[in-house]
Chain A
Amino acid sequence: MSDVLPQTDRLDEAVLAVPGVDTLYSAAPLVATVITTAVDALTRRPPSANSVLVSREKAGLSVAVKIGVTDGHAATEVCRRVHDAIVEHLHGHEEHEIAEVTVTVARIG
């Protein structure tokens, strides 16, 4: 699993550009996040940029993001728009084989 595949470059910016998205949370499991944060702190390096999880599978690319939705926007609509923005971004980078795009709304308002 990687978050640095070339075609996913700036994927986080594409997600944050969707109206109604105010936060991009780490999509990594909590335990992995805690360990990464602890290692980052110990080594005094900047926090890891693991907000968007990407993996290449047999059926294509798998992407997972976790977002916060701001007040005044419908979470359902924002979630769908984020999915569409990710697909559009990947298609724009000639990545047409998409296995799954997971968008989780973790906070509203």
Chain B
Amino acid sequence: MTSPDEPFVAFDLDTADREVAHLAGHTIEELSDYLDQDRTPADPSIDDSPECQIALRSLQRLHGVQRSLLSSDVERESERSDGWVRSILQNINLEAHSGRDIPIEHPSPTARLVVTEGAVRGILRATGDEIENIIVGRCRLDGDVSVPGTPITIRFDAAVCQGENIPAKAQSLREALYAALDQHTDLTIAAIDITIRDLYLRPATPPSETEQR
């Protein structure tokens, strides 16, 4: 298992120059603004970039979570949201990079088929986000993904809604991640390590019409 204090060292790309270079010349803040402006006016340098599209989809889901959290407990969450959200934004930015090429098997000797590491991280983050009451923090693939058959460990960080059964949630998440990896890659998965690093308050449920009367 990953130590909770283990630094996130999968990427060393946190300088502004590299950030710009790897998201088709756009910062994560620019992509967030683009999303806020409902993607208008259309920017082909964003719309035609797979890295930007992966980041935008993650940002869109994060924005949805932020809205529900703000409506549930503005004071408590706003105290820590800056650092918490910033770290998720940073991870979304890092994970959206295309990264390493992961081979896909084909019997033809002239075939060179790959899925990018960024695409796999993107679908794993989306899979985690689809599980109710889980917020994905970061996702990382450990091991030489470029060599078929090499055992790979997936390391996943998440926050869970307060009151949830954490082992059960982690197991649901693990099963969903295995299924996604099996569907979209030929990777040999040795383990999926999940670390729940935080709890957050359950989003407020809007009062029903009956309760409002």
Residue pair B113, A103 in contact (C-beta under 8 Å): yes
Residue pair B44, A37 in contact (C-beta under 8 Å): yes
Which of A2-10, A11-19, A73-81 sits within the interface?
A73-81
Q: Given that A80-B106, A83-B113, A98-B110 are contacting pairs, would A105 and B186 also be in contact in the complex, using a CB cutoff of 8 Å?
A: no
> For A47, what are the chain B residues with a Cβ–Cβ distance below 8 Å?
44
Min distance, Cβ A76 to any Cβ of chain B, angstroms? 5
> For B108, what are the chain A residues with a Cβ–Cβ distance below 8 Å?
83, 87, 101
Residue pair B119, A107 in contact (C-beta under 8 Å): yes
Residue pair B110, A105 in contact (C-beta under 8 Å): no
Which residues of chain A from 65 to 109 have any CB-CB distance to chain B below 8 Å in the complex?
Answer: 66, 68-69, 74-76, 79-80, 83, 87, 98-109
Residue pair B183, A107 in contact (C-beta under 8 Å): no
- Residue interface bits B18-48, CB-to-A below 8 A is 1, else 0: 0001001100000000000000000011001
Q: Given that A87-B108, A100-B112, A101-B111 are contacting pairs, would A26 and B48 also be in contact in the complex, using a CB cutoff of 8 Å?
A: yes
Tell me whether B88 is interfacial, beta carbon within 8 Å.
Answer: no
> For B184, what are the chain A residues with a Cβ–Cβ distance below 8 Å?
69, 74-76, 105, 108
Chain B interface main SS type: mixed
Q: CA of A91 to CA of B57 in the docked complex: distance in angstroms?
A: 38
Residue pair B44, A105 in contact (C-beta under 8 Å): no
Tell me whether B101 is interfacial, beta carbon within 8 Å.
Answer: yes
Q: Given that A26-B48, A74-B184, A109-B123 are contacting pairs, would A79 and B53 also be in contact in the complex, using a CB cutoff of 8 Å?
A: no
Q: Which residue from A68, A69, A76, A101 sits with its C-beta under 8 Å from B186?
A: A76
Q: Would you give 25 A-B contacts (Cβ < 8 Å), ordered by A? A: A25-B49, A34-B45, A68-B50, A69-B184, A74-B183, A74-B184, A75-B123, A76-B105, A76-B115, A76-B186, A80-B104, A83-B111, A83-B113, A87-B108, A99-B110, A101-B108, A101-B112, A102-B112, A102-B113, A103-B113, A105-B184, A106-B118, A107-B54, A108-B184, A109-B126
